[in-house]
Structure 1
Amino acid sequence: MKWCGTRRPVGALLALTAAGGLLISGCSAGSGGDTKARDSSYARGGPAPLPVPDRGSGGRHDGDRREGEQEDSLEVAPDPDYLSTFALDVDTASYGYARRTLAEGRLPDPSAVRPEEFVNSFRQDYERPAGDGFTVTVDGARTDEEDWSLVRVGLATRTAGPDGERPPAALTFVVDISGSMAEPGRLDLARDSLATMTDQLRDDDSVAVVTFSDEAETVLPMTRLGGNRGEVHDAVDSLEPTDSTNLGAGVETGYETAVEGLREGATNRVVLVSDALANTGETDADAILERIAESRREHGITLFGVGVGSDYGDALMERLADRGDGHTVYVSDEEDAREVFCEQLPRNIELTARDAKAQVAFDPETVAEFRLVGYDNRRVADEDFRDDGVDGGEVGPGHTVTALYAVRTRPGAAGHLATATVRWLDPDSRTPHEETGGLEAGDLARSVWGAHRGLTVTATAAYFADSLRSRDHRYGALPGAPAPGELSGRAGDLADRTEDADVRELARAIRAAERLE
């Protein structure tokens, strides 16, 4: 199979998403592990200046949530709170897996639907910065529900440069060869993907291969590709499904292999390819990653999860990637794999920002209440926004990150509505930087269905995700949601207007879901 040839700075997958910019040479065309989920989804009350809001004396803020309590996207924060803070996230696995599930005639489990991953699955045309860091775009439009609008915060990094400009890569592929991987579209797709990737890497890149079933084994130690591609191909071709799934052993051995083959000046990654259906050994994400904590923290080795299979342990893979400062994607077929290898992988090898967080400050003179759509496990306490010891997300070149808010404006609102600030650390010097963007209440004049293409696509994806998880009583309907059966028509019209194949696929998925409701 062959697939592809504001404020100035302060201070001085989908297969194998982690391979990042490795395939740029053949294709011409990130996690808040320790982040505390402590910000509210709705807010109403008095003023809250940046950077640290006055908490007041009464009520309990989301930041006081106790360990193990259930997060609830509809929790209302007491006064005062007009800030919303979260770690950036570029995962897309939830949307990919939902499409696969719907194509098989099943509705996805509401708990596996993460709206931010639906929204971030679509290309956006935000302005790009010239160097490392972000641009901030804030826009919005009115919904069909009185006084409610959707406000979009868009963050973009620079475009990926030519392949020769990236650092060399040292990749440790940890491949699940358990019995469940024998299903078509699992291990066979992983083998073909790895083989294609091997032909596209540069001679100064390195690859290691670890397999796991009931035990883990290093099939190929870290090997420089120049003059050794045949050896890598032999290791990949030898992958065959065997027994049970000891995912914990695979991750631990993968990190040990990555540390042994660590290359200074290179991008060191562990790439986990699995259906994440762990049934042997350690199966808890936190416990698995605690065993390799030193490798993660001292050596900066990050974990990228690539999900495959019709039965897929989404929750475990997503948690592993978050705790491992990485990303997840889901791949169901060759088309997905082609998109990842030629378009998405270049964004995930080189870092342009570490520990990136966003904070949106709403103006209490114009905003009555607001809700952040999704990012439920990426919330950060407002006072931790400028605490660079609190984990954020890792983001590479070519990425866009979108956050959507439902906002109820005050009657006759005029003037400033919101200011969005993104803060990140330089990937090498760890110097902090910030950039901001703002929005006025008068910019909300249009209907969301007649707005800029990108905003309408974002709204459609968010409404779709909201409808899929609204069967879970913990989640309420997003304001302005189309009536049952109407969303697919909206999506179809949007696909015709944009002539976008990805939007056309979204419309098909929405129709499939409406038939199953």
Structure 2
Amino acid sequence: MKRIAGLSKLAVITLGVLALAVATLSVFGNNIRRLFGSSAEALVGAEHANGGATAHRQFQRKSMKSFGANNEEGSSAAPAPAMAMAPAQPPAEPVSAGNTHAAQRPNPFTLTSEDRFSTFAVDVDTASYTLFRRQVAEGGLPARDSIRVEEWMNYFRYRYPAPEEGDFRVDLEGAPSPFTSGRHLIKVGLQGRNLAKSQRKPTHLVFLVDTSGSMGQPDKLPLAQTAMKLMVDGLNEQDSVALVTYAGGVRDVLPPTSASERDTLFAAIDALTSGGGTAMGDGLEIAYRHAAKKAGPQRVSRVVVLTDGDTNLGRNLTADAMLASVQGYVQEGVTLSTIGLGMGNYRDDLMERLANKGNGNCFYIDSEREARRVFQERLAGTLEVIAQDVKIQVEFDPATVRGYRLLGYENRAIADRDFRNDKVDAGEIGAGHTVTALYEVELAGKGENVATVRVRAKRPGGVEAAEQSFSLERSGLHGSLRDASANLRFAAAVAGTADILRGAPQAGDWSLATAESLAEGSVDGMSDRAEFLGLLRLVRERSSQSVANGGRY
């Protein structure tokens, strides 16, 4: 009996210890999530202000279309409201504080009999491609979660016709797919109007610089200082610059100073040193407050964040929390550029989400050459928005197209019914920017009209959007890929490579050799395309070795 009683006491003690351990782990897990901002809301929440939840539900519906789970119909003029359904909850994915991204499932092949509309916001970010370039240059292969097809395609220049009037021009083209027999690729290209330096509006920049201890490496703070000085060099005399830093706390380094005072600005930039923690959320709020003082319809007011993206201190820890604190400033017209630097704890997911929600652009700087490209050669597009809340809706004719798939833009999806809802946030186009989207389609029947492409956009600071419409006829499709432009062939090479490397199910039979052949024939004398071809050859070599060793490629 004594032995039984002793065992009972031991069992009670053991159960008590287990209960305490579970409670401790629960609290610890919550603290870790708060620390790194990796909750489900932070990582797979609204991708666009005011419209993200709708966009996510739209993506969930489209993912089920091939199985006939939804029949969404609309008129040729505008899509009808989708059938009501309970919002799907995305599965929470474990995410660390390192270089990770809440991966989006690749768009599925969708039957036009179930949904003939494809709607998305434009995107001119390029960080995903630059990050890929650095990973390959350092001897590795890109992480699947870091690959966003649209950012790879939109990194490159395309020779689209300049707009004769208005802010942009649409270029449509189609040809047989080099990857999937019996299907075609259709390219939708937008070319924004260019602005000469003398045509730019006065600009006020607020540099928000991460000076935490992790920024002490040569490819971080020193490269950020180089990038800022390049940007200052490209400004006009009527422009101004302010400088704010954040580490364990926030510091106002320089009040608004004329861009003509180069010596003062350069001295303040050169004097920056690294050390301490990272209070990014607090710094962002103060930077926006400074930028809002200069915001107005006749002035560009932009916050430029330069960071390795490792935010682990401060009141606001997640993208949602940080943007919520400054959302009013965004509504006043303040725009945002996020500049990623370095590796290790770089938060690619956080930088991309901040740029999307802040009406801005996201870049990754891996070298002084890339800094010159973003802040010198393409400064007008980086700074000045020529069209905002730009949405594209492609309506495929079921009499001509059996089904389609959009390559990329998964986290830029917009509900079909929200195309003409001007309250739903979308993307921005900077001066001289090009935007490229690629569809894989399967033709059917004998209809003549392939697709109608509608573009809807507002002028900067505007409330109501204007809409343009463009048509692609079957007679306008090329008979062979050889007849297509170098633009289409190169876009196909880049998008195909990205889709293969991210493991898209629909690209399971696609070949990197085919992508390489396409790239070889479409370099068109452009150095950035030639560089991609070299990277692709390295990737092919390494992926073959990886497969031979039992790896994932």
**Same fold (TM > 0.5):** yes
1:231 — aligned with what? 264
Q: Distance in 1 between matches of 2:492 and 2:283?
A: 39
| 1:438-474 C-alpha deviation (Å, 9 max, x unpaired) | 212233343335521000010001011111101xxxx
> Residue 374 of structure 1 aligns to which amino acid in structure 2?
G
**Preserved contact between residue 167 and residue 267 of structure 1 (Cα < 8 Å):** yes
**Preserved contact between residue 136 and residue 421 of structure 1 (Cα < 8 Å):** no
- 1:300 pairs with one of 327, 333, 339: 333
Cα deviation for residue 488 of structure 1 reads 2.8
- 2:320 pairs with one of 286, 304, 317: 286
1:103 — aligned with what? 137
Q: Distance in 1 between matches of 2:497 and 2:87?
A: 29
Does structure 1 residue 338 correspond to structure 2 residue 360? no
| 1:150-180 C-alpha deviation (Å, 9 max, x unpaired) | 11111112122x2122111011010111122
Cα deviation for residue 435 of structure 1 reads 1.6
Name stretches of at least 5 consecutive residues in structure 1 with no aligned partner: 1-30
**Preserved contact between residue 288 and residue 303 of structure 2 (Cα < 8 Å):** yes
33-42 or 505-514: bigger deviation:
33-42
1:17 — aligned with what? none
**Preserved contact between residue 363 and residue 417 of structure 1 (Cα < 8 Å):** yes
Question: Equivalent residue of 1:502, what SS?
Answer: helix
Distance 1:77 1:485, change over 3 A: closer
1:487 — aligned with what? 515
Distance 1:108 1:34, change over 3 A: farther
Q: Distance in 1 between matches of 2:425 and 2:263?
A: 40
Cα deviation for residue 392 of structure 1 reads 1.3
- Higher RCO (CA < 8 A, seq sep 6+): 1
Distance 1:485 1:157, change over 3 A: closer
2:353 — aligned with what? 319
Q: Distance in 2 between matches of 1:153 and 1:423?
A: 14
> Residue 505 of structure 1 aligns to which amino acid in structure 2?
E
Question: Equivalent residue of 1:361, what SS?
Answer: strand
Does structure 1 residue 250 correspond to structure 2 residue 283? yes
Distance 1:263 1:451, change over 3 A: closer
Q: Distance in 1 between matches of 2:528 and 2:214?
A: 30
> Residue 156 of structure 1 aligns to which amino acid in structure 2?
Q
**Preserved contact between residue 306 and residue 331 of structure 1 (Cα < 8 Å):** yes
Q: Distance in 2 between matches of 1:330 and 1:166?
A: 24
**Preserved contact between residue 276 and residue 314 of structure 1 (Cα < 8 Å):** yes
Distance 1:83 1:214, change over 3 A: same
Cα deviation for residue 507 of structure 1 reads 0.9
| 1:6-39 C-alpha deviation (Å, 9 max, x unpaired) | xxxxxxxxxxxxxxxxxxxxxxxxx944433224
**Preserved contact between residue 114 and residue 375 of structure 1 (Cα < 8 Å):** yes
- 1:52 pairs with one of 47, 57, 78: 78
Distance 1:399 1:484, change over 3 A: closer
Q: Distance in 2 between matches of 1:451 and 1:221?
A: 53
67-76 or 111-120: bigger deviation:
67-76
Question: Equivalent residue of 1:286, what SS?
Answer: helix
2:182 — aligned with what? 147
Question: Equivalent residue of 1:403, what SS?
Answer: strand
Question: Equivalent residue of 1:280, what SS?
Answer: coil
2:202 — aligned with what? 168
How is 1:98-497 mapped onto 2 (pairs within 5 angstroms)?
98-144=132-178, 145-160=180-195, 162-226=196-260, 228-262=261-295, 265-281=298-314, 282-297=316-331, 299-311=332-344, 312-410=346-444, 413-448=446-481, 450-470=483-503, 475-478=504-507, 481=510, 483-495=511-523
- 1:506 pairs with one of 518, 528, 532: 532
Distance 1:65 1:153, change over 3 A: farther
Distance 1:170 1:89, change over 3 A: same
**Preserved contact between residue 35 and residue 379 of structure 1 (Cα < 8 Å):** no
Q: Distance in 2 between matches of 1:280 and 1:46?
A: 45
**Preserved contact between residue 141 and residue 443 of structure 1 (Cα < 8 Å):** no
Q: Distance in 2 between matches of 1:200 and 1:73?
A: 39
Cα deviation for residue 479 of structure 1 reads 8.0
Identity rate, percent: 36
The number of equivalent residue pairs is 472
**Preserved contact between residue 54 and residue 80 of structure 1 (Cα < 8 Å):** no
Cα deviation for residue 115 of structure 1 reads 0.2
Question: Equivalent residue of 2:286, what SS?
Answer: helix
How is 1:21-40 mapped onto 2 (pairs within 5 angstroms)?
32-36=48-52, 37=55, 38-39=58-59, 40=62
Distance 1:195 1:261, change over 3 A: same
> Residue 313 of structure 1 aligns to which amino acid in structure 2?
R
**Preserved contact between residue 86 and residue 357 of structure 1 (Cα < 8 Å):** yes
> Residue 156 of structure 2 aligns to which amino acid in structure 1?
F
Cα deviation for residue 55 of structure 1 reads 6.1
| 1:320-356 C-alpha deviation (Å, 9 max, x unpaired) | 1111111111111111112123322211322221211
Name stretches of at least 5 consecutive residues in structure 2 with no aligned partner: 1-46, 93-103, 544-553
Q: Distance in 1 between matches of 2:393 and 2:482?
A: 27
**Preserved contact between residue 171 and residue 206 of structure 1 (Cα < 8 Å):** yes
Q: Which has the larger radius of gyration?
A: 2
235-244 or 122-131: bigger deviation:
122-131
Distance 1:423 1:372, change over 3 A: same
Cα deviation for residue 67 of structure 1 reads 5.0
**Preserved contact between residue 269 and residue 303 of structure 1 (Cα < 8 Å):** yes
Distance 1:216 1:413, change over 3 A: farther
Does structure 1 residue 66 correspond to structure 2 residue 99? no
Cα deviation for residue 256 of structure 1 reads 2.1
Question: Equivalent residue of 2:272, what SS?
Answer: coil
Q: Distance in 2 between matches of 1:457 and 1:75?
A: 23
Using structure 2 for the length normalisation, give the TM-score.
0.80
> Residue 507 of structure 2 aligns to which amino acid in structure 1?
L
Q: Report which of the two has the higher share of helix.
A: 2
Q: Distance in 1 between matches of 2:234 and 2:290?
A: 22
